[in-house]
Amino acid sequence: MAHNILFAGFGGQGVQFAAKVTTYAGMMSGHEVSLLPSYGPEMRGGTSNCAVRIDSKMIASPIVNEPNILMALNQPSYDKFAEKAEAGGYIIYDDSLIKRSDERTDINVFPIPATKLARENGYTGLANMIALGYMAKKTGFLSLEDIKEGLKKAVPASKAALLDKNIEALDLGYNY
């Protein structure tokens, strides 16, 4: 298996955290992994993105130029990266914030109103986990159980109290 995943959204939407959970999930399930965040002024108020590679073979370059899975959580990210997604790949996007701007028919596009679902179900700030759960369901890139294992590893001990909420948000997205 080989997945080149790009997570993108506003700074503060949890893009980096979703990427970290995914990377840990890949690592814990026995795969080679790498994570490369964007850094610098892009992060401050603008778009933040994070490239994750999961592969059964050694990973050469950590850079993702053409993601086969794109998670877009804001409009600028969708506009910037949708055209770069690999043909036959997947786009998961938050349609409570994003209006689809492309006309591609060669990719699998799955909208989920993650931010709205988070707000209405008491998971404010966890739209990232809702979208990640949904991504696991729609792409099958890793199992939900793998992602939960990754989540346990990615949540620092000082924030262990938040683990249950994150798991519930993953479930909500998976069962959407």
Partner 1 sequence: MNKVLMKGNEAIAEAAIRAGCMHFFGYPITPQTEVAAYFSKKLPKLGGTFLQAESEVAAINMVLGAASAGVRTMTSSSSPGISLKSEGISYIIGSDLPCLIINVQRGGPGLGGIQPSQSDYWQATKAPGHGDSHLLVYAPESVQEIVEYVFTAFDKAEEYRMPAMLLLDGTLGQMMEPVCFDNIPTPKKNEKPWATNGHKNEREHNIVNSLYLKPEELEVKNFERFERYAKVCENEQRYEEYMTEDAEIIIVAIGIAARVSKSAIDEARAMGIKVGLVRPITVYPFPTKAFDKIKENPNVKNILTVELNMGQMTDDVKLALECKKPVELLRHSGGIVPTPKEVLAKLCELNGGNK
Residues that bind partner 1 (CB under 8 A): 20, 23-24, 27, 33-37, 39-41, 60-63, 65
Q: Which is nearer to partner 1, 19 or 172 (CB)?
A: 19
Q: Which is nearer to partner 1, 20 or 138 (CB)?
A: 20
Helix or strand run (H / E) with residue 26: helix 15-28
Which candidate, 29, 30, 24, 22, places its Cα nearest to that of 4? 22
Which candidate, 8, 18, 95, 4, places its Cα nearest to that of 43? 8
Closest contact distance (angstroms) between CB of 64 and partner 1 is 10
Cα dihedral 60, 27, 30, 167, rounded to 10, equals -150
Closest contact distance (angstroms) between CB of 78 and partner 1 is 22
Separate counts of helices (H) and strands (E) for the chain: 6, 6
Q: Which is nearer to partner 1, 4 or 75 (CB)?
A: 4
Closest contact distance (angstroms) between CB of 100 and partner 1 is 26
Closest contact distance (angstroms) between CB of 57 and partner 1 is 9
Q: Which is nearer to partner 1, 23 or 115 (CB)?
A: 23
